Amino acid sequence: MVWTRRVILKSPQEIAIMREAGRINALALDAVRKAIRPGVTTAELDAIAEEVIRSHGAKPAFKGYPGPYPYPATITVSINDELVHGIPSPKRVLKEGDIVSVDCGTVYQGFIADSAFSMGVGEISPLAQKLLRVTEEALYKGIEKLRPGNRIGDVSWAIQQHVESNGFYVTREYTGHGVGRSMHEFPMVPNYGRPGQGLEIQPGLTVALEPMVLVGTPRTKVKPDGWTVVSADGSLTAHFEHTVAVTPAGPVILTQL
């Protein structure tokens, strides 16, 4: 991945643009959420997201992102054991009982918003329900710690502690990140850490927090397509993400309607 090497604090004007990027991104994810049902293909979901983003004068942020080969789509759709970076395909059909994670990025006036959610397709198992609930709760536990004077380790620890106390695992191999004109800015925001450690959080910091949670072990591997990350043991996974701005008064979620 391509990362900046220092923190780039944003002005209130820049945060306002990121808020608009985040609102458009939320509209795209909302349209995808409403289209998720048994029988829909992940390529159809991708087309829905791209249409919403472009119709608002914005662009998909993931398309062309450097990797094993340029990322080919607007969203990533990761099903069951797939943790992140699943590539949409007309051959991938959602079925009853799946859990699906959708990640989307939007560029608007040069600034990026990045957000993800996971949900069940129709009826899902009690274990899958708990996984979704705990992962989303972990995101909000982390957001709550994004306050001036705290450190990144406080955020990371809040996420890790909630996930592990519920018997699940966080990945060590993929992290949250600063976000702005670049998709991945300093600092990394791991989903594990120690309270009081790491960068001090200041007003103007904009980060994407993204708990990536696994049922069986913390280990992952990459599928032969070069992009899709799956749990090493085939167990279920979930992913929630918001782009958040730190203000003097505390965290503001940019990627909601």
Q: Give, rounded to a whole angstrom, the gap between the first and last alpha carbons of the chain.
A: 29
Burial class (CB in 10 A: 0-12, 13-18, 19+), 120: middle
Under the criterion CB under 5 A, does residue 103 sit at the interface with Mg ion?
Answer: yes
Q: Which residue, 58 or 122, has its beta carbon nearer to Mg ion?
A: 58
Q: Cβ 114 to Mg ion, closest distance in Å?
A: 4
Nearer to Mg ion, 116 or 201 (CB): 116
Write down the least CB distance from residue 208 to Mg ion, Å. Answer: 4
Nearer to Mg ion, 80 or 191 (CB): 191
Q: Which stretch binds Mg ion (CB under 5 A): 2-10, 22-30, 93-101, 238-246?
A: 238-246
Cβ distance to Mg ion smaller for residue 83 or 215:
83
How far is the C-alpha of 9 from the C-alpha of 204, rounded, in Å?
A: 5
What is the distance between the alpha carbons of residues 225 and 75, in angstroms, rounded to a whole number?
A: 16
Please identify, using beta-carbon distances, which residue of 96 and 230 lies nearer to Mg ion: 230
Q: What is the C-alpha to C-alpha distance for residues 112 and 105, in angstroms, rounded to an integer? A: 7
Sole binder of Mg ion in the list 14, 81, 82, 114 (CB under 5 A): 114
Nearest distance, CB of residue 110 and Mg ion, angstroms: 18
Identify the residue among 18, 100, 163, 208 touching Mg ion (CB under 5 A). Answer: 208
By CB atoms closer than 10 A (0-12, 13-18, 19+), residue 56 is: middle
Q: Which segment (20-28, 151-159, 187-195, 206-214) binds Mg ion by CB under 5 A?
A: 206-214
CB 148, min distance to Mg ion, A = 22
> What is the rounded distance in angstroms from the CA atom of residue 161 to the CA atom of residue 253?
22
92/155 Cα distance (integer angstroms): 35
Determine phi and psi for 34, rounding to 5 degrees: -70, -20
Q: Which is nearer to Mg ion, 36 or 84 (CB)?
A: 84
Nearest to 79 by CA among 67, 92, 68: 92
Q: Work out how close the CB of 213 gets to Mg ion at its nearest, in angstroms, rounded to a whole number.
A: 15
What is the nearest approach in angstroms of Mg ion to the Cβ of residue 91?
A: 23
Interaction pattern, residues 123-162, with Mg ion; x per rule: CB under 5 A: ----------------------------------------
Closest to 10 (Cα-Cα) out of 247, 253, 249, 210? 247
Give the pair of three-digit tokens for residue 50. Answer: 């791209």
Name the residues that contact Mg ion, by CB under 5 A. Answer: 103, 114, 116, 208, 241
